[in-house]
Amino acid sequence: MRISTFFYTLRQGFRSIFRNAWFSLASLATIGSCLLLFGIFYSVVANFQSIVKNAESGVAVTVFFDEGLSDEEKQHIGELILDRKEVDRINFVSADEAWDSFKDEYLGEYSEGFTENPLEDSENYEIYMKDISLQSSLVTYLNTVPGIRQVNSSQQTADALTGANQLISYISIGIIGILLAVSIFLISNTVTIGISVRKEEIGIMKYIGATDFFVRAPFVVEGLIIGLVGAAIPLGLIYVIYTKALEMILSRFSEIGSILTFLPVETIFETLIPISLGIGAGIGFLGSFITVRKHLKV
């Protein structure tokens, strides 16, 4: 493409937007609304997944050893566990540490009556996983390891957290699909109207030898511009809304903030900016390209 052709395409794309101002504004508003909803939804989902991930990181599988097992054998068991792909990290808890934790949590001052450690044989490994949905396979393996007498796990908790992750994933896919379909439909209508308005002009251009690419390019530029602007506006709104909402939650509902950890706005926007701009540009490009290819027959 020559430079003159490139700038001509840009000019025609911008002119087409202003020539069909009301329809362009309608598409811009629709894309912006869709991406605003998407951004808000993404912010909620990202925080939910972060909360679930934090909850998963606190769920451990605990293994207890056979009596009389040497330190070397316990270390070997730990190495076998760490070799498993499901395992993120393990934590060895000695009998003294187990007793200190138990008496502080459940006995308090009444623990002073114990002169010996009643949990002498309670040394264990706390096993934290990369993906809690793999807990059942890990537990099955641990039950076959020599030297392990007992495996404690909470399959119900693992299933609940896994189900929550799957549910939010399905909902996300469904909502994103609907928003994309609506936005592409509206962009397509805008470009179709633009073609109708300029049908005579396009016919003349083709009669004097203009290529299909030369005729179609301004419409694609028009769609890209509408898509990018339609993505940029809601990004600014989401930044303000998320920041204000986070400040309000942390100031007025400090109890929630002490229990749940919310993602900072910078973390949200590291992913949201490229995704939103990509979706906006993609919607604009596809809506324009498909419509022009289908209807541009002069």
- Give the pLDDT confidence of 133-157 residue by residue, as tens digits: 788 888 888 888 888 888 888 777 7
Q: Could you tell me which residues are beta bridge partners of residue 62?
A: 126, 152
Does residue 23 or residue 66 have the better pLDDT?
66
163-167, 193-197, 231-235, 280-284, range with greatest mean pLDDT: 231-235
Does residue 78 or residue 15 have the better pLDDT?
78
- At 236 the pLDDT is 92
- At 252 the pLDDT is 77
Asked which of 93, 117, 152 is the last residue of a domain, the reply is 152
pTM here is: 0.66
Give the Cα separation of 105 and 265 in Å (integer). Answer: 37
The parent domain of residue 109 ranges over 61-152
Q: Say yes or no: 45 and 178 in one domain.
A: yes
- At 107 the pLDDT is 59
How buried is residue 289: exposed, middle or buried, by Cβ count under 10 Å (0-12/13-18/19+)?
middle
CATH number for the domain that contains residue 124: 3.30.70.3040
Q: Say yes or no: 95 and 148 in one domain.
A: yes
Q: Say yes or no: 277 and 171 in one domain.
A: yes
Residues 6+ apart with CB under 8 A from 63: 77, 81, 124, 125, 127, 142, 145, 148, 150, 151, 152
Q: Say yes or no: 31 and 170 in one domain.
A: yes
On the question of pLDDT at 169 being above 80, the answer is: no
CA atoms within 13 A on the CB side of 9: 21
Q: Say yes or no: 169 and 34 in one domain.
A: yes
Q: Say yes or no: 180 and 238 in one domain.
A: yes
**pLDDT band, residue 273 (cuts 50/70/90):** very high
* Neighbouring C-beta atoms of residue 163, cutoff 10 Å: 11
Q: Say yes or no: 189 and 90 in one domain.
A: no
Q: Say yes or no: 170 and 95 in one domain.
A: no
Residues 6+ apart with CB under 8 A from 107: none
pLDDT in tens, 27-78: 788 788 878 888 888 888 888 878 777 777 677 888 888 887 888 888 888 8
CA distances from 6 to 203, 218, 223 (A): 21, 10, 16
On the question of pLDDT at 226 being above 80, the answer is: yes
- At 117 the pLDDT is 58
Q: Say yes or no: 30 and 94 in one domain.
A: no
Asked which of 152, 170, 189 is the last residue of a domain, the reply is 152
Candidates 138, 130, 148, 141; CA nearest to 63 is 148
Q: Say yes or no: 71 and 138 in one domain.
A: yes
Q: Say yes or no: 186 and 286 in one domain.
A: yes
Q: Say yes or no: 123 and 213 in one domain.
A: no
Asked which of 129, 152, 175 is the last residue of a domain, the reply is 152
On the question of pLDDT at 245 being above 60, the answer is: yes
